Structure 1
Amino acid sequence: MRVDLHRDVFKADGFELIITLMRLFVEDRHQWFVNPDDIDDVVAYFLEHAPTKAIVYSDLARKSLVAQSRPAPVFSAPLKVLSESLADHVADLSRPARVVVENRTADGAFIVAIAHVFAAADILRAHTEGWFEFVQSGGSGEIHKVVLAELGTFRKVARVTFLLDSDRGTADQVSKYEKVLSDLQKLGIKGHVLKYREMENYIPNRALAAIPWPKRKQSKLSARITCLKGLTPEQRAFVDIKHGFSREKSNNWPRQIEAAREKMYPAKVRRELSSGFGDGLSELLQQEAATGKIAAADFDSLGPGTCDELRALLALIRDII
């Protein structure tokens, strides 16, 4: 996070807290947003209180000032830290941020994969260093409760976000999780409900082609991928990638959604995708993305706006780390 230290911080007690923040800035865990008018006060403070580190911290302030003058991606406003909030803010900034998901393994792998594809080096480093963690909600119905519990572990800064499948059957259906999104946003917690049915609907065909099925099943894999390629973006966005149509009746769609899906997916498609591609797809995507085999164009081919949505998801994480 970008952190704006009010000049009063350097005129009050709290030396150890300031040094803790400096260490976080030096390791680039957070970024110091420096007011040009405060440089002289900062230099004087460290010359008096930490003379052996004064050059290091003063240079850090000047470099931060130069860095923030360069054109950069749009970020949220810097976090303002006052002398009276210093202890609470240092405690929050020293803890890992929290990304609440339905399945920590699968959803975590998906997010890491898209960070590779969209060159989000800051997010990849934060994940490797443990500066944010994925928290499993234990199911979409529990995510509101888990998010609030995680929020309660922070004193001042809501360093929590969340990701949910939409579980929609068509583009016109309103996700039942939109209310969760709205309720948490009112509490200052930003999150994301996927536009497509599930995370697996974002797995590009190129990644699916790398599924390590035995040789005797490769023809079935190829046939299913060929069928997917023939679907419209809307059809592909709401098909069950993992299970195909084998569980269609158990979804208990509302009558109008069921009727719409009957029209959306002809009998031939239902036959060719009577079974899906199985589990472990996001882990496979992460593997393929980490080795440079997946590009943004592979996501772009899924439908208009897909890359923009995934970049927005990464921005949510960037805002809290």
Structure 2
Amino acid sequence: MLLDIEPAVLTAGERTSLIALLKMIAKERHEWHPTPQEALLVDDFVRDLNLQQTILEEWAAKALEESANPRPRNGREQPVTAERLEDIVEDLQKPAVLVVENRLGDGGFIRAVAEALRDERLSYALHPRRAWLKFCNGGGTGQMPKLTADECGEFAVVIRVAVLFDSDRTSHDVPSPNEQKAEEARRAGARHVHVLTWRMMENYVPFRVWEAVFPGKPGAVRQIRATIPRQRGYLHLKHTFVGRRGSMPSLWDRPLDLNEDDFHELGPDVVAELRQILTMIHEIL
């Protein structure tokens, strides 16, 4: 998460919380671009610690050097104040939360998209040893607004919760039945909510994945390849591959080394929407 740390934090902030905050920044869990004056304050603070905090010393020296060319603010920075420093640091230490309908299916999808679109920061954050982002299972779209409220309640100041809904639309010219649930999730405290344009996550699965998961059904893959995106995006692909009563196997267990072209092949607007979802996740990460 991109931070805006007020100068009072560096001069009057609670010491233990400030050290924890700076360590998270030094480890690139969160991002902060201090001005030259702020970088000097940090450098003095770290030197005065005299605790052999090597990672902090290295980061403070680098920040001091980079502050000569400050980055412009974009208006999306999270304010960090001395008054609420302890609560804010506690929030920043927790994993960010993405509420989804199916933790394994949607979680695997997000991991695959991050790798294919070369989102190194998100892939790094999703490593099991870090777990800076967790996928929270909604158990169906009906429970997602309430689950969103519960997850938002875990944060005191910085609500780091986003929600990803299937649209469940049956064609391009009908509204999503989940728009009302999305609005409920926003009212529950989640500022970042995305409703998929197409029917569900499976409609964004590259053809190569279907070929790998269902090698015995080349006809079904040829069928969806031949269908134009405006129609294919709203098919119930589970029914196409396993029938109405069948169970969909995991789609993301095979190392296929997907790339942007695999998703672009699905339709001209797919990659843009996927990047929009990744940007939303970065807003809470």
* TM > 0.5 fold call: yes
Q: Which residue of 2 aligns with 1:283?
A: 252
Change (3 A) 1:197 1:22: same
Q: Which residue of 1 aligns with 2:272?
A: 308
Which range moved further: 53-62 or 132-141? Answer: 53-62
- 2: distance between equivalents of 1:301 and 1:29? 33
Change (3 A) 1:296 1:166: same
Q: Does the residue aligned with 2:252 lie in a helix, a strand or coil?
A: helix
Deviation per residue, 1:42-88 (Å, 9 max, x gap): 2233333x02447753542352462895889x976222211101011
- 2: distance between equivalents of 1:78 and 1:13? 19
Change (3 A) 1:152 1:163: same
Verify the 8 A CA contact 1:107 1:282 in the aligned structure 2. Answer: no
Q: Does the residue aligned with 2:168 lie in a helix, a strand or coil?
A: coil
- 2: distance between equivalents of 1:47 and 1:296? 45
| More RCO (CA 8 Å, sep 6+) | 1
Q: Which residue of 2 aligns with 1:264?
A: none
Change (3 A) 1:69 1:135: farther
Q: Which residue of 2 aligns with 1:235?
A: 231
Change (3 A) 1:36 1:180: farther
Q: Which residue of 2 aligns with 1:200?
A: 202
- 2: distance between equivalents of 1:75 and 1:302? 32
**Corresponding letter in the other structure for 1:93:** L
- 1: distance between equivalents of 2:74 and 2:219? 44
Q: Which residue of 2 aligns with 1:270?
A: none
Structure 1 residue 6 corresponds to structure 2 residue 2: no
- 1: distance between equivalents of 2:93 and 2:162? 17
Q: Which residue of 2 aligns with 1:123?
A: 122
Q: Does the residue aligned with 2:50 lie in a helix, a strand or coil?
A: coil
Which range moved further: 1-10 or 201-210? Answer: 1-10
Change (3 A) 1:105 1:175: same
Verify the 8 A CA contact 1:31 1:64 in the aligned structure 2. Answer: no
Q: Which residue of 1 aligns with 2:91?
A: 92
**Corresponding letter in the other structure for 1:238:** Y
**Corresponding letter in the other structure for 1:197:** R
Root-mean-square deviation (Å): 2.6
Change (3 A) 1:64 1:40: closer
Among 255, 259, 263, the alignment partner of 1:295 is 259
Q: Does the residue aligned with 2:104 lie in a helix, a strand or coil?
A: helix
Q: Does the residue aligned with 1:238 lie in a helix, a strand or coil?
A: coil
Give the length in aligned residue pairs: 280
More helix by share: 1
Deviation per residue, 1:75-127 (Å, 9 max, x gap): 76222211101011100011111111111111111110101100111111111
Verify the 8 A CA contact 2:34 2:67 in the aligned structure 1. Answer: no
- 2: distance between equivalents of 1:37 and 1:192? 39
Change (3 A) 1:314 1:76: farther
- 1: distance between equivalents of 2:68 and 2:230? 41
Change (3 A) 1:68 1:196: farther
Deviation per residue, 1:179-199 (Å, 9 max, x gap): 232343454521111111111
Q: Does the residue aligned with 2:163 lie in a helix, a strand or coil?
A: strand
Which range moved further: 115-124 or 294-303? Answer: 294-303
* Shift of residue 15, structure 1, vs aligned partner: 0.9
Structure 1 residue 105 corresponds to structure 2 residue 104: yes
- 1: distance between equivalents of 2:75 and 2:43? 27
In the alignment, structure 1 segments of 5+ residues that lack a partner are 248-274
- 1: distance between equivalents of 2:67 and 2:227? 46
**Corresponding letter in the other structure for 2:185:** L
Deviation per residue, 1:232-260 (Å, 9 max, x gap): 1111111111113955xxxxxxxxxxxxx
- 2: distance between equivalents of 1:27 and 1:57? 9
Q: Does the residue aligned with 1:84 lie in a helix, a strand or coil?
A: coil
Change (3 A) 1:179 1:69: farther
Q: Does the residue aligned with 2:218 lie in a helix, a strand or coil?
A: helix
- 2: distance between equivalents of 1:3 and 1:68? 18
**Corresponding letter in the other structure for 2:32:** W
